[in-house]
Structure 1
Amino acid sequence: MAQDLVLQAEVPVRVTHPEKLLFPDPPTTKLAYLTYVAQMAHVILPHLRNRRVTLVRCPNGTRDHRFYQRHVLTGAPEWIPSVPGEEQKPEIVIPDVATLLYYANLGAIEFHSALAHVDETSASVLSFDLDPSTEDFERLRTVALHLHDVLDDLGLISLVKTSGKRGLQVFIPLSVAIPFSHTRKLVHFVGQYMERRWPTLVTTARLVKDRGDKVYIDVPQHGATKTLICVYSVRATDDARVSTPITWEELRAGCHPTDFTIRTVPSRVKQLGDLFEPERRCDIRELVEKITQHS
């Protein structure tokens, strides 16, 4: 049995059971997973810092029990940071490499980050979560490209990433923070327009039984307390898929979520950089005002 290891970060982090198998297809150990996390920390952390984080932990791998965690547990090292949550319970935040590695060593595979920064009620991005009802990725691709065109017609710059499972997520970076009470109106407006414009492809129905084979635009998932899978986080899939920024050109050309795993993403980022670091941001104040006036 392999001995425990120590990884050097802001604080030394002990790695227990580095030989443990976390992902079966292909077989991938905890050490390989932690190597990915350490290698990618420089692009993961900017999307986690100053945000509440919810973990999906799979201590014994993706084929075994998994659970969510959003509070810092009793017995955590004293250097592990937190922010007060409901009833003053300490909630997870991840500001540095050591904290990221600490949770990864505990079997945290997925890192879901809040859309809002800690103690803020304004949005720095708009978010659209596209969830397919079937395994037909071509239908999802079509809906995502329709969404891109709708946003483009509104003069909005959009970024797209894989969810790391079956879905896609579209973000609009904002130049001026807008209260979520206002940005939700725009997200709902676009979602409902999409549903009316492509009724055989798109739905905003909350109940799964009402969706049929349509792509669900999860408009309620946009809000100050909502979380989405963090950029470059691995997902708890057997093949260690990664939530990865892609270009609209790649999506049109036929890329698929299975193309992006812990084995392929590091070299991609080395070549392309962080595609979720926007060159330009959108000012949506006038657009939100118009929608508010007509709602």
Structure 2
Amino acid sequence: MPAAIKGSITVNGQAIAITNPDKLLWPEMGITKEIYLQKLAALSPYLLRYCQNRLLTVIRYPHGVPGMSFYQKNAPEPLPPFVKTATQDNITYIMLQGLPELLWLGNLAALEFHPSLHYAGSELPCEWMIDLDPSREVEPRIMEATAIVGDVLRSLGLNSVPKTSGATGVQIIVPIHPGVTFDGLRRIGHFVGRFVTEKHPELFTLERLKKNRGDKIYFDYLQHYGGKTLAAPYTPRARPLATVSTPLLWMEVEQNVSPTDFHLLNIEERLSSKGDLIQKVPAQRVEDIISQLS
């Protein structure tokens, strides 16, 4: 990332104002806004891949992680001329198309990036994601649950990529061919969710109300739908340890890796050695499975 000059940087020909570069955004990790912007620049080839051409929601923390936060769907005014938008359901969303937009949002203390699950102007999903959502803040069984779901998907002939949410949970991503509908993927999700909850009733639940889940892990197949969002791969999270939503190898799942192992201060080294694990899995054919469930 270019060095700041008189409170601004120039990226791809665009001038971006930088305010309060010394402000601590993750105090426990010593991460200032300046460090954060440097890390965003390093993450950009990966994070942008899963945000471009989608409707973006961000979570902003003007005073850093310990402070108040708010979700931002509508683009703030005034907008820099290089920031494009798209309107849906009377909401004007930011289109996160490149590094200038990413660093502009970083300067606004946008610490989390939650894109739509479909492209702007489309009603079809970009990929299929299953969300495994623990009921407890610390869930030592999350990787065990992830491995079980991965095995079921493989039994259906589907390769997938697990990723930490960056918080407490895990999402499992199945790359798909264009044309599959959200409703079709919900049918598969319900089938897989019902199967694992019947096989492992002590571990999984399909109960939507958190107060009724006990200590079980919620198999959420409903969150993957039009108008909803999930944490983007490679988004930072506003957690004390500055964790990053990180794709995993299945071997790492079997080794019971911790979601807190991957954070802003070590993610560059991981990406240098492993690259984008999602890109290494080709699109899977789910149409035949959907037709059998219809």
TM above 0.5, yes or no, is yes
Contact 1:5/1:18 (<8 A) preserved: no
Contact 1:126/1:187 (<8 A) preserved: no
Q: CA deviation at 1:259?
A: 0.6
Does residue 80 in structure 1 map to residue 83 in structure 2? Answer: yes
**Range that drifts further, 4-13 or 277-286:** 4-13
Contact 1:202/1:217 (<8 A) preserved: yes
Does residue 177 in structure 1 map to residue 190 in structure 2? Answer: no
Contact 2:205/2:219 (<8 A) preserved: yes
Alpha-carbon distance change, 131 to 57 in structure 1, aligned in 2, over 3 angstroms:
same
Does residue 225 in structure 1 map to residue 227 in structure 2? Answer: yes
Deviation by residue 1:242-278 (Cα, 9 ceiling, x = unmatched): 0001101011112101110001111110111111213
Q: Which position in structure 2 is the counterpart of 1:70?
A: 73
Q: What amino acid sits opposite 2:285 in the alignment? A: D
Q: CA deviation at 1:85?
A: 2.0
Equivalent-residue separation in structure 1 for 2:240 and 2:16 (angstroms): 26
Equivalent-residue separation in structure 1 for 2:245 and 2:137 (angstroms): 17
Q: CA deviation at 1:124?
A: 3.1
Percentage identity across paired residues of the two chains: 32
The equivalent position to 1:211 in structure 2, one of 206, 210, 213, is 213
Q: CA deviation at 1:133?
A: 1.1
Equivalent-residue separation in structure 1 for 2:8 and 2:263 (angstroms): 24
Q: CA deviation at 1:220?
A: 1.1
Q: How does 1:160-199 map to 2 (within 5 A)?
A: 160-199=162-201
- Give TM-score scaled by structure 1 length: 0.94
Q: Which position in structure 2 is the counterpart of 1:48?
A: 51
* Corresponding pairs, count: 290
**Range that drifts further, 151-160 or 178-187:** 178-187
The equivalent position to 1:273 in structure 2, one of 256, 270, 275, is 275
Equivalent-residue separation in structure 1 for 2:149 and 2:128 (angstroms): 13
Structure 1: 4+ residue segments shifted above 3 A = none
Contact 2:161/2:281 (<8 A) preserved: no
Deviation by residue 1:5-28 (Cα, 9 ceiling, x = unmatched): 424234121211100010011221
Q: How does 1:92-131 map to 2 (within 5 A)?
A: 92-131=94-133
Q: What amino acid sits opposite 1:86 in the alignment? A: D
Q: Which position in structure 2 is the counterpart of 1:240?
A: 242
Q: CA deviation at 1:136?
A: 4.4
Q: Which position in structure 2 is the counterpart of 1:33?
A: 36
Q: Which position in structure 1 is the counterpart of 2:25?
A: 22
Q: SS at the partner of 2:22?
A: coil
Q: What amino acid sits opposite 2:35 in the alignment? A: A
Equivalent-residue separation in structure 2 for 1:113 and 1:34 (angstroms): 19
Q: CA deviation at 1:240?
A: 0.7
Contact 1:37/1:101 (<8 A) preserved: yes
Which structure 2 segments of 5+ residues have no match?
none
Which structure 1 segments of 5+ residues have no match?
none
Equivalent-residue separation in structure 2 for 1:136 and 1:106 (angstroms): 30
Q: CA RMSD in A?
A: 1.5
Alpha-carbon distance change, 249 to 239 in structure 1, aligned in 2, over 3 angstroms:
same
Q: SS at the partner of 1:156?
A: coil
Q: Which position in structure 2 is the counterpart of 1:286?
A: 288
Equivalent-residue separation in structure 1 for 2:265 and 2:255 (angstroms): 21
Q: SS at the partner of 1:229?
A: coil
- Give TM-score scaled by structure 2 length: 0.95
Q: SS at the partner of 1:115?
A: strand
Alpha-carbon distance change, 27 to 3 in structure 1, aligned in 2, over 3 angstroms:
farther
Q: CA deviation at 1:90?
A: 1.7
Q: What amino acid sits opposite 1:56 in the alignment? A: I
Equivalent-residue separation in structure 2 for 1:278 and 1:121 (angstroms): 25
Contact 2:53/2:120 (<8 A) preserved: yes
